[in-house]
Amino acid sequence: MTMMQDLATPVPNTWCPGCGNFGLLMAMKRAIIQLDIEREQVVAVSGIGCHGKITDYIKVNALHVIHGRVLPAATAIKLANQDLTVIGFAGDGDAYNIGMGHLPHAARRNINITYIVHDNLVYGLTTGQTSPTSKKGYMSKTTPRGAFEPGINPLTQALASDATFVSRGYAGDMHHLTEIFKRAISHEGFALVDVLQPCVAWNRVNTFEFYKERVYKLEEVGHDERDIELAYQRAAEWGEKIPIGVFYRADRPTYMQNFPVLQKGPLVKQRIAGDTSDLLKEFM
Ligand code: SF4
């Protein structure tokens, strides 16, 4: 059984004091413990940005990849060994800017991985530039007169890509976020959790106070997570009220279930047919 101390690492944490990433990290540790997953069975993949350090702070198998490529790496790991629990971590710049091309494909394939996006609506690590999810009018050093473009809506993007689990959490509500993480990890298919993660250093608009006044839980208003039209309506809400929870969930065969070869078990445990020596020489 995995305990909290099993997931601790000796690496000093360099996130800014008060950063929303702390709540997200703790919620993920709690989810792994409460789901009773052995840490050796978990692979965490992180990208570039403040979020990327999460793989230093949680003791599971980890891969820190280049900018925007969390989903391809996570997909490859899952294809090689489908017995593993594969969790991708990305920031809003990582996921929805340079890595945006990968989201619709992972979603429509329904590859069985969990995708956690630390969405702070700003580029934090590079000191506060406007990000793809920054809202229209957001002022920063790159948009001193306010952003002209509307911010990307990750939830409607995922819905339009046939994702089978679309959710949003809030780093300031650890209990609720833990429950969403548990459901996302348990989901059979691609699961997106967009996490409202305040950046206390650079985003002076979308703060803990901002969210505390606005977030409400979908499960408390009788939301039907099987209703995709309702999911679109709720996903479009952003203003006086901001919903968190599971917007949409559907059952569809996973990518792995469509391949007969994967029905025989993980590729890493299967015998390779034929002579592969010539192929292996290319990598030596
Ligand atoms: Fe967190 Fe922002 Fe500091 Fe990065 S810059 S660690 S996102 S508060």
pLDDT tens-digit series, residues 186-229: 999 999 999 999 999 999 999 999 999 999 999 999 999 999 99
DSSP reduced 3-state for 268: helix
The neighbouring-strand residues paired with 45 are 63, 88
Pocket of ligand 1 contains residue 120 by CB under 6 Å: yes
34, 40, 41, 45 alpha-carbon torsion, rounded to 10° = 100
Q: Of all atoms in ligand 1, which is nearest to the CA of residue 201?
A: 8
Choosing from 13, 21, 57, 131 the residue with most ligand 1 atoms within 8 A of its CB, the one to mutate for a pocket test is: 21
CA of 173 to the centre of ligand 1 (A): 18
Amino acid code (one letter) for 136: K
Q: What is the CA radius of gyration of the chain?
A: 19
Mean pLDDT per 10-residue segment, the chain (284 residues):
95 98 98 97 98 98 97 97 98 97 98 98 97 97 96 98 98 98 98 98 98 98 98 98 98 93 90 83 85
CA of 22 to the centre of ligand 1 (A): 10
CA of 197 to the centre of ligand 1 (A): 9
In the chain, DSSP finds a helix count (H) and a strand count (E) of: 10, 8
CA of 251 to the centre of ligand 1 (A): 36
Q: Residue 108's pLDDT is what?
A: 98
Q: Residue 284's pLDDT is what?
A: 80
Pocket of ligand 1 contains residue 124 by CB under 6 Å: yes
Q: Of all atoms in ligand 1, which is nearest to the CA of residue 16?
A: 3
Q: Of all atoms in ligand 1, which is nearest to the CA of residue 50?
A: 4
The pTM (predicted TM-score) of the whole model is 0.96
Pocket of ligand 1 contains residue 180 by CB under 6 Å: no
pLDDT tens, position by position, 19-33:
999 999 999 999 999
Choosing from 13, 14, 16 the residue with most ligand 1 atoms within 8 A of its CB, the one to mutate for a pocket test is: 16
Pocket of ligand 1 contains residue 21 by CB under 6 Å: yes
CA of 4 to the centre of ligand 1 (A): 24
Q: Residue 282's pLDDT is what?
A: 87
Q: Residue 275's pLDDT is what?
A: 85
Q: Strand order of the sheet with strand 61-64?
A: 61-64, 42-46, 85-91, 114-119, 191-196, 165-170, 242-249, 215-217
Q: Residue 238's pLDDT is what?
A: 97
The DSSP output letter for 98 is I
Pocket of ligand 1 contains residue 93 by CB under 6 Å: no
Q: Residue 195's pLDDT is what?
A: 98
